Chain A
């Protein structure tokens, strides 16, 4: 059972890693003027909800499978994701707003955020991998 949990977490984590990489690539495209702000933001906003759900699912899964340490590790980032999504002002077009992304260094902070998430997911990936192998051996 535990191995199934971690196999699922591993797949989910892979998806999140890909998503983080996609965010980074798109944002750096914007930075380099390859795409304009409008299309960049509409591309990224599409993936904000999947990201929130994907991460929330893993977190909840860890909670119900009683892996406290991993749950607590995931909790801050999952909370941040949800908080960020909820706190979008009513007039904005999503977490990424094309009219504001170039202001006040928002682009940079989005980039930093995506980088941190990438690092975090990579860490999680190896943790899940280890736990999965451990669980498979134990089974």
Chain B
């Protein structure tokens, strides 16, 4: 990149003026001083020859770019590119004007080569028709339609095909705009200096290595396991698999869908046994999953047809292969494969957070995604790509003004994730399939999500493996770009058009977020300008539409914004004039490195303060040893940089501070006994630099466990200790970790026992679910204001009023851990859990002084938030700390009708300071379709998300109203929604209890909720346990919450190699999910229950002795000890299988669960049996009774 380097530097242009809503992410900071400029560029005109002379010819800037020496230029492809590029902009027949030798994009040249000139590498059979139908020549020098279609393979088939089949009528009314803009462009210069200097820095500092990688991945000839390579390899594989399943897919859809999961698993196996070294398994797996879904019939048929057809249909056949190729594994089904491949892939996937800058990943993504054309659809060209990145399409901007083409929904009754998008993508399919007859399924069949399920008769409703998240009914293009359901889920993947429709459906509308989750692949963008909408401050995302090259239309507020000059240049491909190819527009989850505009103060250092209870009770419980050992082990792994600071406060009836000033020979303990008016004994050196005072800190940690062994002090002055901690931390902000073992009994914030043990199993009123005092809430709000989060570890054997104490974490965005009846010797399971939790807690990523904002498309509004945070203003969540295990939920309402749009988008932006002192913004964007019929709403319901949101709402209800109200509301939610569904489906027999397939698990999950610790009545439940369960419901992300609500049960004594998956050279068996019912527990078996935070292995009395010997390491059932928390490493096949299965389950979650082996006499047995929610207990319905109850309620 010598050319840009040699050019004069230029200040960053195109800062946005502060919009009216200046108080976005960082209230004052983000708004900044308006640094407005007129038009896209301010610099003087520096036209390269030929630029201005062809006003409509947009190839000029690229010609300009070809001056850059390091550009690889391959003329014939450039020619093609340029032509199509141009034509797609202006749709003018005169575009052959452009210079043939411009090479704007290395990437594209390579790709187009790969696609059109290297048949052996081309993407499988689908490619055949294209090549056969169209001779290569038309791609290169042609008139508009052909160059369109050629180009379409890369970017916008929607345009190309609409043009090809219909000519220009669709676009004709948009002609005015491009013309205007092209008239403007000549006045605008594209000085090399601008982009050169802008990105010159970026290249030298960050993206240079990445660029190297990019080249590598782009080398088609290279035999390495780069992405394009695997891409080509596995397309045929996937395709073959498709075709092979076609024949079996043709029979009735019902059969198909029942066999669905099974066949998916099988295909997975086939593929995964193939090899794990490259990315291939991911893609091929996702692909195969997609294809084995019932849509196979439809998806395959056009492929067959297209081979006999002309270029247009040939083109439309191609997307079928490529979207699946590049589609990131979305469904939960593939989580396993996902994780396996990301850990083992040799492609430039950067796991390291900091190494990601410059974006190795986005490149691979852009490589894989660029060849994916938009679906071709003459009728739906308007709707099929409404918010796509392909600005050549021109039309997206008109999405709102033009009435939504009714074509999309009516022609698209398909709602099963597998095949729903095909009709949308290829309305041509309708004709094709009718001509072929019988290949198309979607006309005669109901969508999978709506398939009626008779709940009272169908007993096996649980899927074989985990429940996948429904895939929104979008075209494959948008779906591929859409946010992963792990971080962002909506309860309804089809958003109803109006509030009235939503009310009719009786389902809650809301989002479940896991925004800061640990990601293995995250594009990080370093750019001087972060492109955002001027009025609503939305970050640019894959679902915006580019009206033309210089303007984009916000997908949330529909404002038209300018594309800033820097954004025109793509640092990844090093090409100019392709804003739609930037990683921001290619990935729905991105992270920006924020500039100083996003700071209110310099980024804070990582500061950790530990506030430890050292009263008699605490010493007795013995947590100090575990904590100190954990801290000593992980002291170097605490996230932070050279500025990291740490401090300790201990308290009993007095508060003790520790002077750890560097240079002291040993830590100094300072005792403050005036707890009514707490003060800091010394202004500094209580919080010390971790690296400078490391020896002292280690001394202190070694001394702690024995320092208080003889204490007689039973009182606990938690309140004053917290006040002191707040005073100590308020100048910097950071994290306070509080360890408490009893009810605070002294000073401010003292609490009294409110629990009446006789009321524990009461079926009537459960009181005291709310806090007793506002002290902790006030403290939390003070802390939140100073960017301090308080994390609470409650290790108590008696009632400690968690309802009140939890407030300190709830509103300061902390987290809560509770270890009932903790004792380091008597309760080894809890001790082990604390140890594991601490390891994760101390080493996990952390974000400081964070704020999160959730934006949604105009017409939707968020009215309630769930999670641990403080809502500072209408949609701004203040998070003093954010951790990767925190989940959030919001409820939404539809304020205005969404009739004039076909898609809605949600965007969360999380602005935080990383532990390295960098200000970063993580942005997730989710895009969902809007529907206008009730059936569609049901078809798109995401039952897990619905249940999690309902659980959150029920917690609120039980605190603000009463527990029985909350329980009634949960039951009513099922009754209402099922009766609403049954009334819409008129052909159903009213005497049966019918649910749509998408909601078939709804009654089961709600019953599970009713039997959950948080909401159960009749069973003895300690108040703290109940409150803790409620806290967890509020703050856990969906995946963990679902395990808590409905644990997974597996039979593990007969693990076979059937349906195994391979992870890191380990064979992981995949036993099927069992119903949570004692009828499944046979005395001959051994069962594993995965409750999220705990694993239980239940062993039947007559369990095979071989299993006990091999897996548990004991000769027979009688000799298995009562408290067993680990499986021995025995060299035996069954032991290996079991251990690898458990290890695999553990790998999938942040908190390593504790394993407990349960024999019949074990006290933990009740715990285990309480989770068998389908069975009847003395106080609650069995599942079947519950169904009858619902039916009765519906019939009323």
Residues of A within 8 A of B (CB): 30-31, 33, 36-38, 89-93, 98-99, 101-105, 107
Contact = CB atoms under 8 A, between A and B. Distances in A.
A63 B807 CA distance: 44
Nearest to A31: B874
Contacts of A31: 874
B873 A33 contact: yes
B770 interface: yes
Interface stretch (B89-97, B864-872, B962-970): B864-872
A104 B777 CA distance: 19
Given A31-B874, A36-B872, A91-B774, 5 more contacts: A30-B874, A33-B873, A37-B873, A90-B770, A92-B777
Contact of B23 (A33, A91, A102): A33
B811 interface: yes
B772 A91 contact: yes
B118 interface: no
A93 to B, nearest CB: 5
Interface string B779-810: 00100010000000000000000011001001
B864 A104 contact: yes
B956 A104 contact: yes
Contacts of B960: 89
A92 B777 CA distance: 8
B1085 interface: no
A90 B873 contact: no
9 contacts: A33-B23, A33-B873, A38-B872, A99-B781, A99-B810, A99-B871, A102-B864, A103-B864, A103-B956
Contacts of B803: 91
Nearest to A38: B781
Contact of A93 (B774, B785, B804): B774
Interface string B806-837: 01001100000000000000000000000000
Nearest to A89: B770
B777 A99 contact: yes
A104 B771 contact: no
B559 interface: no
Q: Which 4 A-B pairs have the closest CB atoms?
A: A91-B771, A102-B871, A33-B873, A103-B864
Given A37-B872, A99-B811, A104-B864, A93 B778 contact: yes
A98 B785 CA distance: 13
Contacts of B811: 99
- The listed residue with most B CB atoms (<10 A of its CB), out of A92, A98, A99, A107, is A99
Nearest to B872: A36
B714 interface: no
Interface of B: 21, 23, 770-774, 777-778, 781, 785, 803-804, 807, 810-811, 863-865, 870-874, 876, 956, 960
B771 A33 contact: no
Contact of A37 (B770, B773, B871, B956): B871
A37 B865 CA distance: 14
A98 B812 CA distance: 13
Nearest to A98: B781
A93 B774 CA distance: 6
Most buried by A among B810, B873, B876: B873
Contacts of A33: 21, 23, 873-874, 876
B874 A90 contact: no
B889 to A, nearest CB: 12
Given A33-B23, A36-B872, A102-B865, A92 B774 contact: yes
Main secondary structure of the interface of A (DSSP, over half): loop
Given A91-B772, A93-B777, A38 B785 contact: yes
Contacts, number: 65
Contacts of B873: 30, 33, 36-37, 102
A41 to B, nearest CB: 10
Nearest to B893: A105
A91 B804 contact: yes
B731 to A, nearest CB: 20
Contacts of A90: 770-774
A104 B863 contact: yes
B30 to A, nearest CB: 13
A37 B777 CA distance: 14
A39 to B, nearest CB: 10
Nearest to A94: B774
A133 B116 CA distance: 94
A95 to B, nearest CB: 13
Contact of B777 (A30, A91, A103): A91
A99 B870 contact: yes
A89 B777 CA distance: 13
Contacts of B770: 89-91
B868 to A, nearest CB: 11
Contact of A91 (B773, B870, B956): B773
A90 to B, nearest CB: 6
Contacts of A89: 770-771, 960
Nearest to A103: B864
Contacts of A91: 770-774, 777, 803-804, 807
Nearest to B24: A33
Contacts of A104: 863-864, 956
Nearest to A108: B863
A136 to B, nearest CB: 48
A90 B804 CA distance: 10
B491 to A, nearest CB: 17
A133 B865 CA distance: 52
Contacts of A37: 870-873
B856 to A, nearest CB: 15
Contacts of A99: 777, 781, 810-811, 870-871
- Name the residue among B774, B778, B810 with the largest chain A CB count within 10 angstroms: B774
A93 B873 CA distance: 17
B1119 to A, nearest CB: 51
Contacts of B773: 90-91
Nearest to A101: B871
A48 to B, nearest CB: 15
A107 B810 CA distance: 20
Contacts of B804: 91
A103 B890 CA distance: 10
B996 to A, nearest CB: 28
A109 B226 CA distance: 58
Contacts of B778: 93
Contacts of B771: 89-91
A93 B2 CA distance: 63
Contacts of B872: 36-38
A105 B863 contact: yes
A104 B785 CA distance: 23
A38 B804 CA distance: 19
Nearest to B957: A104
A103 B774 contact: no
B640 to A, nearest CB: 29
Nearest to A105: B863
B1031 to A, nearest CB: 14
Contacts of B785: 38
Nearest to B768: A90
Nearest to B959: A89
Contacts of B781: 38, 98-99
Nearest to A35: B873
B748 to A, nearest CB: 15
Nearest to A91: B771
Contacts of A107: 874
A40 to B, nearest CB: 9
Nearest to B776: A91
A106 to B, nearest CB: 9
Contacts of A103: 863-865, 871, 956
Contacts of B863: 103-105
A108 B623 CA distance: 47
A30 B872 CA distance: 9
A91 to B, nearest CB: 3
Contacts of B23: 33
A51 to B, nearest CB: 20
A98 to B, nearest CB: 6
Contacts of B956: 103-104
